[in-house]
Structure formats: C-alpha cells, structure tokens
Chain A
Amino acid sequence: MLETLGIHFPSLLIYLINFLLVLGLLLLFAYRPILRLMDQRADRIRESLEASERAREEAASSQEAVEAQLVEARREAQRIVEQARESAERFRAEEMERARSEADNFVSRARADIQRERDAAIEEVRANFGDLAITAAERVVRRSLDRQAHEELIAQVLEEGESLRRG
C-alpha cells in the first residue's frame, strides 16, 4: 500500500534534508539579516521620533523663555520711560519754582528800589522846601503884604508840604 501511494524512504530522506537545508539557508541569509535590519529600522525610527519630540519640547521651552524675557524688557523700558517722565516733571516744577522765586525777588527788590527812590525824592523835596518857602515869601513880598494874608500863605505851604510827604 505504501508503494502504491509512492512512499519511498530515500526520497523522503532527501526531502527532509532538502527542507532543512532551505530552512537553514533562509535562517542564516534571509530571516536573521532582514529581521535585524527591521529591528534596527524600528529602533532608529523610535529614536528619531523621541529626538524630534525632545527638540520640539526644547523649542517650546526656549520660546517661553524668550517671551518671558521680552515681557521683562518691555516692563523695564516702561519703567525707564516712567522714571524719565517723572524726573522731567520734577525738574520742570523745580525750574518753575526757581523762576517764580527769582521773579518775586526781582519784583520785591524793584519795589524796594522804588521805595528808596521815592524816599530820596521826598527827602530832596523836603530839602528844597525852604527854598520853596523863600520863593513863596518873595512872591508875597512882591505883592503888598498884610499880616493876615501872610499867615494864611505860610499855613497853606506847610499843608502842601505835609501832603506831599504823605504821598
């Protein structure tokens, strides 16, 4: 019965050896190198994915840092401008204050000068008063003097002088 089916021991042996040879050759020269290569590629892809992930995270964090710096700088600039404006304001106020006080000084000095001038003028007028009296007397004398008119004249002149002094 084995014969009719064609079972033949030497052929069976050859098929066995044949298959095992194919298996060995494929294992050594095909499966191992190709699988190793595929593993390498998988590792490589995984690594590069991780690296790119890391790089992206780094980029994101550095971006954050840059933004923080930018905000800081802006705030600093704001502060500086504020400071400058403040000091300018202060300077202007001081300047105005000084100018005003100077002007005040000037005015008061001028006023004092004027006072002094006026006093001096009054002094001078007063000094000239005798001459004035004499002149007035001469004028009276030139006319026919009587006693009563004489006295009235003197009082009048005196009064004039007084009012002059009072200003």
Chain B
Amino acid sequence: MNRGILLFGLLVVVALAVAGLITGAIGAGLTQSEEDKAAGQTAEGPFIPKPAVHLPAQVVGPVGAREHYVEFLHAEHKEREYGEEKLDEHAHEVLDEGPYQGNDFIITNTLLSSWIASIILVGVFVIGARRAQLVPGRFQNFCEIVIEGLLRFVEGVVGQARARLLFPVIASIFLFVVINAWIGLLPIYPSLGFITDGIVEIHLLRPAGTDINMPLALALVSFVFVEFLGLRMLGIGYLGKFIRVRSLGRGLSALFRFKLLDAFQGLLDFFFVGPLEAFSEFVRLISFTFRLFGNMTAGEILVLVSAFLVPFIATVGVYGLELLVGFIQGLIFAGLTLVFAAIAMTAHEHEEHEEHH
C-alpha cells in the first residue's frame, strides 16, 4: 500500500511537471510563432502573465496616496513606451513628484505585511508566556525552545555574563527578520491586491524585507545598539578607537626626536586608521541593509520567475530554498550584530593591553 501511495505521488509530480512545462513560459516559447519571435515578443503561458517587479514598495493607503501612485505608475509606463516628449504636463508633474508624493505618511504593502508579522510574532510569544507554568505545555515548550536556542547562541559569542544584556535585541532582530521573510511565502501574498485591467496591479501585501526601509531601519537599530554598548561598556574611551589621540601624541613626540619611521606610524594611525575604523562602522549600515534587502527581493523575484517559467512545480523547490534563506538571513543579521557588539565591547581593551607592553 505504501508503494502505491509513493507511486501515485510520483505520478502527480510528473503530471504537474509536464503540465507546468507545457503551460508555462518555456512551453509557450517552444510553440511560439515565427512572427512573434521576430517581433521580440515575450512568450507567455495561459495562466501566469509576465511578472512585473516593482523595486519600491507599492502604496495601498490612504486612498489619495494610492491614486497618486497609480498615476505615477501609468506615467512611468508611458515614458518607457513612448518617450519623454509624448508626456502631457500632468504626467510630468506626477513623475517629478515621485511615487510617494513627498514626505507624507503612507501605508505601503510591505508596511502592512510587517504589521501583520509583528502582531503574529508578539501574539505567539505573549500567549506562550502568559500561560507559562513551571511545567510547560506544548506551546510554551515551543516558545522556550526558540528563546533558549537564541540565548545559547548569544552565550556562545559573548559568554553567559553579558548574554542577558544583548539577548533581547539580538533575538528580536532574528525573529523579526525570519517572520517577515516566511510570512511572504503565504499564497495570499501574490494574489491579493487592487485590480486594474484584469490583473493585480497593486499588491495588498508584500514581504517587508523587499522594502529597503525595513532593512535600513533594522540596520540603524543594530548600528545604534552596537555603538551604545561600546560607549556603555568602555565609557568615553570607546571613542579612542576612532580618534587615536595616543597615536598622535606618540607620532608627534617621535617627530620632534627625528624618529621618522615611528612618527610616520603614529601619524598614519591617527589620520588614517582611526577614520577608517569610523568609516567601517558606517559601511556596516549599508552592508546590513543591502544584504537583507537583496536576499529578500531576489527571493521574491525567484518565486515569481519560477512560477512564470514552470508553473505548479518549480515553485515548490524555490519555496523550500526561500524558507532556508529567510532563516539564514535572520541568523546573519542577528549574528553579525552580535559579533559587532562583542567587538565593540572588548576590542579596545586588547589594544590598550598591547600598548602597555
């Protein structure tokens, strides 16, 4: 009987693969007429239209902002199709204003998704903690496993004494990133939205990681957290890593004694290494932001494209990959913040230690 089920499953998979190959863009490309090919038209299957990826998050509310966004999209489309000269004055205005119409607060689909993710995240853990008892139930056990796992992760890097201090921010970053990535894999995400001309033009929901503002906000939190910890643990001496007064003094005194090599070393340390250290702190902001943003956006595009090329079956594998990617991105974001915090708390002590020798 087991073998029967296995065989049936295999048959279903093969059937889906064949159907996907025929009805998808690949099948359409094979059966496309010569004229269409010559015209450079994209082959499209009957079910999935050619996916359109909008890099900036789409506006879903309020209504005025959304209407402006739609106008902007249309103007952009026209500009691309017919050239800038053909645009009327209004379209020019709309294009100049940009998709978001200045600095008004707007609700984008990614923001909406992040709220849902936040509510789910907080809800799960608050419910898990509210009914918490010394002898845990299954749900509480799950929450405890997650929290304990993250705590061990933090302890592994900074040791038990400091783990409790760092844990809340690190764990929250991890959970926030992972939930936001995984929630985007729900099938309602690409299917809900505002329809124009028979297709979904504005999606109601989109994973928050694909909006650059979310990784940027997390990167800012991480940056402030790391610098704050450095200042709190080492006091004002933390800034000595960036403004190397000691090296300057050493360099100048060496200069007066005409020890040119030592003078060069000291001055180089002050004028070059110090600013470089400071610069690297800020570069982290950018690397944090674009790592998460890039991975999430690429994941979204990969899902869309796989569904477009081979519907039904190729997406399954991509979904598995995306689950892994979401987890790993959370781990990387949290882990790097953790490591940078550990460095900020200890690195300078080592340097001073060396100087005493």
Q: Does B304 contact A (CB under 8 A)?
A: no
Q: Does B220 contact A (CB under 8 A)?
A: yes
What is the interface residue range for chain B against chain A? 35 or more
Q: Does B341 contact A (CB under 8 A)?
A: no
Q: Does A51 contact B (CB under 8 A)?
A: no
Q: Does A136 contact B (CB under 8 A)?
A: no
The reply to whether B128 and A15 contact each other, CB–CB distance below 8 Å, is no
Q: Which residues of B contact A11 (CB under 8 A)?
A: 57, 100, 106, 108, 111, 211, 213
The reply to whether A19 and B217 contact each other, CB–CB distance below 8 Å, is yes
Q: Does B64 contact A (CB under 8 A)?
A: no
Q: Does A14 contact B (CB under 8 A)?
A: yes
The reply to whether A34 and B147 contact each other, CB–CB distance below 8 Å, is yes
Contact of B126 among A15, A20, A30, A38 (CB under 8 A): A30
The reply to whether B118 and A29 contact each other, CB–CB distance below 8 Å, is no
The reply to whether A34 and B132 contact each other, CB–CB distance below 8 Å, is yes
Q: Does B288 contact A (CB under 8 A)?
A: no
Q: Which residues of A contact B104 (CB under 8 A)?
A: 10
The reply to whether B114 and A34 contact each other, CB–CB distance below 8 Å, is no
The reply to whether A35 and B103 contact each other, CB–CB distance below 8 Å, is no
Contact A10-B125, Cβ < 8 Å, known A15-B111, A29-B130, A34-B144: no
The reply to whether B129 and A30 contact each other, CB–CB distance below 8 Å, is yes
The reply to whether A25 and B126 contact each other, CB–CB distance below 8 Å, is yes
The reply to whether A27 and B56 contact each other, CB–CB distance below 8 Å, is no
Q: Does A12 contact B (CB under 8 A)?
A: yes
Contact A15-B114, Cβ < 8 Å, known A6-B212, A20-B221, A31-B168: yes
Of the candidate stretches B24-32, B169-177, B242-250, the one touching chain A is: B169-177
State the CA gap A52–B168 with chains docked (Å).
35
Q: Which residues of B contact A4 (CB under 8 A)?
A: 55-56
Contact of B103 among A9, A18, A23 (CB under 8 A): A9
Interface positions, chain B 206-246, Cβ under 8 Å from A, are 208, 211-214, 216-218, 220-221
The reply to whether A33 and B129 contact each other, CB–CB distance below 8 Å, is yes
The reply to whether A33 and B132 contact each other, CB–CB distance below 8 Å, is yes
Q: Which residues of B contact A21 (CB under 8 A)?
A: 118
Nearest residue, chain B, Cβ from A44: B134
Contact A5-B55, Cβ < 8 Å, known A20-B221, A22-B176, A34-B147: yes
Q: Does B311 contact A (CB under 8 A)?
A: no
Number of interface residues of A (CB under 8 A): 33
Q: Which residues of A contact B122 (CB under 8 A)?
A: 22, 25-26, 29-30
Within the complex, the shortest CB–CB distance from B88 to chain A, in Å, comes to 22
The reply to whether B126 and A7 contact each other, CB–CB distance below 8 Å, is no
- Mark contacts of B122-147 with chain A using CB atoms, 8 A cut-off: 1 yes-contact digit, 0 otherwise: 10011011101110000010011001
Within the complex, the shortest CB–CB distance from A4 to chain B, in Å, comes to 7
Within the complex, the shortest CB–CB distance from A14 to chain B, in Å, comes to 6
- Mark contacts of A122-149 with chain B using CB atoms, 8 A cut-off: 1 yes-contact digit, 0 otherwise: 0000000000000000000000000000
Q: Does A16 contact B (CB under 8 A)?
A: yes
Q: Which residues of A contact B98 (CB under 8 A)?
A: 3
Within the complex, the shortest CB–CB distance from B197 to chain A, in Å, comes to 24
Interface residues of A (CB under 8 A from B): 3-12, 14-16, 18-23, 25-27, 29-31, 33-35, 37-38, 40-41, 44
Given A5-B55, A37-B132, 8 further pairs, Cβ under 8 A: A6-B213, A15-B208, A16-B217, A19-B221, A22-B122, A26-B125, A34-B140, A41-B134
Interface residues of B (CB under 8 A from A): 55-57, 98-100, 103-106, 108, 111, 114-115, 118, 121-122, 125-126, 128-130, 132-134, 140, 143-144, 147-148, 151, 164, 167-169, 171-172, 175-176, 208, 211-214, 216-218, 220-221
Lowest 8 A-B CB distances belong to which pairs?
A6-B56, A30-B125, A15-B217, A11-B213, A23-B172, A33-B129, A12-B213, A29-B126
